Amino acid sequence: MSLPKFPDNPDLTRENVINQIISSIAMEELGLSHIINAEGEKLQYALGTIEGVSGPTEPATIEDLLKLNASVRDTLNSTMQNQMFLKAKMQNALTSAVLQGPMGPEGPQGVAGAQGIQGIQGIQGPEGAQGPQGVTGPEGPRGPQGERGANGFAGITVRGNYDPNATYNTNDYVISAEGNGFVARVDDPTSAPPTDFVTTDDWAPFVARGARGMQGVTGDQGPAGAAGPVGPAGPQGPMGEQGPAGSAGATGATGATGATGATGNTGATGATGNTGTTGPTGNSGASAIVIPFATGDETSAPRTNAAGAPLDIQIVSFGDRSSRIALSGNGFTLPTGNGVQYTFSMPRQATVQSIYFTSSNWSAFAPINGAIVTPFVVLATAPANSQTFTFLNNTETLASTSWIGTGSLLPANTTLSGSRTDINVMISAGMRIAICCAYRITGNPSAMEYFFYYSGGILFS
């Protein structure tokens, strides 16, 4: 659209100037009509209602239409303001006299002219403030009953992401692998939701996946990771060229003494010398003591809790064992009565060096599936006049293998063994010692009660 073009050599009389101003107003009005028409076509394009022209490739969302409506409203507001300016400009031009001279006497009133053609309706102004509530009018007569509307959409049941192994019913809502929402049209649909946002025999589209958001700002660089392990040594490179000969080195050390020569003939026996004084008595050599142990007949069997940890222990001697004794923290207190006094006292200070033991089940048993049953031996000590014993945790010795539950019976007398040679725990003279036996259950722990045999030895130095 071009602007009004004035003649090259205009005759700038007052009458011609007024005519040129009115012509420019008409051209601007024409331009504004094109702008309003373009805004209308913009809305039709977004809605896909222009004949012969296809709309956007993706349907406009509510958010898109609201933004477009705001843009059209802003354009129309600007157009309305310009229209008001042009109206004032035209009124001033029409009321201007062709020739400005002295005001003459008022002439007689002219004949009323014919009524002008009604102008085009102006752009709707902004909505005014709401008026006061009017008086409620009388109730009108009741109209005829309208036709029954179509059945509304049944409520949906949200089922989350689509699972091909799940069973769905009519109106179940799922999210497809592509992120679109679909509602089942039938019970137990036989197909998965479509990849496109379309209707199938089994599924109806409900909510389309939203557009991908803008990429976020790149975050700060994270701290440097820990250094990786040193890689394996590379292959040895080829041997380099031989360098120039170095300067002569220092004289080497004297070589080893040569082989002893042949023994000469034995000389005559000399006279016997005087007997020397007796030397001091040397230190006594180190001694080692082995304390053997073995369980006897069955008594009350130790138990575990639901987490597989021991609830009780048994004190073992040589050929006998105590009843089960309940644990308390990292130790236990000997109860009164018979069947528990199987401890011994240290006659002198000694160091526990190692423990070796074997354990076996006295009858066939079947741990639950996945259970790992591991027997162990541990020492506990108490002061000379105390019945409260504390475990020496560094002496705990586990069986190197375990009984594992597979759902089948393990035969009787299935034997396990374990040893520990790095103990090095010193026990003072007079301390009471208890050799304790128990077991743990890991893997699939549970509260159980098993009876096992134990035997072995403890090395003191």
Looking at 93, 119, 136, the residue that finishes a domain is: 93
In-domain check, residue 318 = yes
311 and 453 inside one domain = yes
In-domain check, residue 109 = no
Q: Which two tokens stand for residue 191?
A: 């197909």
201 and 62 inside one domain = no
By CB neighbour count within 10 A (0-12 exposed, 13-18 middle, 19+ buried), where does 331 fall? Answer: middle
Chain mean pLDDT for the chain = 81
Report the pLDDT value the prediction gives residue 283, as an integer from 0 to 100: 47
Question: What are the pLDDT digits (tens) for 276-302?
Answer: 665 564 444 457 888 899 887 766 789
State the average pLDDT over residues 2-28. 72
Q: Which two tokens stand for residue 158?
A: 């949200």
Count of domains forming the chain: 3
In-domain check, residue 456 = yes
Q: Is the pLDDT of residue 331 over 60?
A: yes
- Side-chain-side CA neighbours of residue 369 (13 Å): 1
In-domain check, residue 357 = yes
Q: Which two tokens stand for residue 458?
A: 């403890």
Q: What is the CATH number of the domain that holds 335?
A: 2.60.120
Name the strand (E) or helix (H) holding 89. helix 62-94
What is the distance between the alpha carbons of residues 321 and 336, in angstroms, rounded to a whole number?
Answer: 16
Looking at 65, 93, 121, the residue that finishes a domain is: 93
Report the pLDDT value the prediction gives residue 253, as an integer from 0 to 100: 65
CB of 410 closer than 8 Å to CB of 364: yes
296 and 440 inside one domain = yes
301 and 430 inside one domain = yes
89 and 162 inside one domain = no
51 and 178 inside one domain = no
Q: Which of 334, 405, 337 is nearest to 368 (CA)?
A: 405
Q: What own/partner pairs with CB < 8 Å and gap ≥ 24 does 315-318 have?
A: 315/340, 315/342, 315/343, 315/434, 315/435, 315/436, 315/437, 316/342, 316/435, 316/436, 316/437, 316/454, 317/293, 317/342, 317/344, 317/435, 318/292, 318/293, 318/294
What is the distance between the alpha carbons of residues 46 and 69, in angstroms, rounded to a whole number?
Answer: 10
Report the pLDDT value the prediction gives residue 120, as an integer from 0 to 100: 61
305 and 447 inside one domain = yes
Q: What are the residues whose beta carbons fall under 8 Å from the beta carbon of 68, sequence distance 6 or more?
A: 42, 43, 46, 60
Read off the pLDDT band of 153 (50, 70, 90).
low
Q: What are the residues whose beta carbons fall under 8 Å from the beta carbon of 98, sequence distance 6 or more?
A: 14, 15, 18
The pTM of this model reads 0.41
Report the pLDDT value the prediction gives residue 276, as an integer from 0 to 100: 60
Q: Is the pLDDT of residue 318 over 70?
A: yes
| CA distances to 156, 180, 203, 293 from 164, in Å | 19, 16, 14, 62
In-domain check, residue 112 = no
In-domain check, residue 362 = yes
In-domain check, residue 41 = yes
Report the pLDDT value the prediction gives residue 17, as an integer from 0 to 100: 77
Read off the pLDDT band of 186 (50, 70, 90).
very high
Read off the pLDDT band of 46 (50, 70, 90).
confident
Q: Which of 407, 323, 402 is nearest to 365 (CA)?
A: 407
More confident site: 2 or 27: 27
| CA distances to 59, 91, 232, 236, 243 from 239, in Å | 73, 105, 20, 9, 11
State the average pLDDT over residues 42-61. 76
In-domain check, residue 283 = no
Report the pLDDT value the prediction gives residue 383, as an integer from 0 to 100: 96
339 and 448 inside one domain = yes
181 and 309 inside one domain = no
48 and 161 inside one domain = no
Q: What is the CATH number of the domain that holds 193?
A: 2.10.10
Give the structural domain span for 184.
157-207
CB of 461 closer than 8 Å to CB of 288: yes
445 and 328 inside one domain = yes
CB of 99 closer than 8 Å to CB of 17: no
333 and 410 inside one domain = yes
Question: What are the pLDDT digits (tens) for 250-276?
Answer: 655 655 655 655 655 655 665 666 766
Pairing of strands 203-207, 172-175: unpaired
Looking at 77, 93, 109, the residue that finishes a domain is: 93
What is the distance between the alpha carbons of residues 202 and 169, in angstroms, rounded to a whole number?
Answer: 10
Read off the pLDDT band of 239 (50, 70, 90).
low
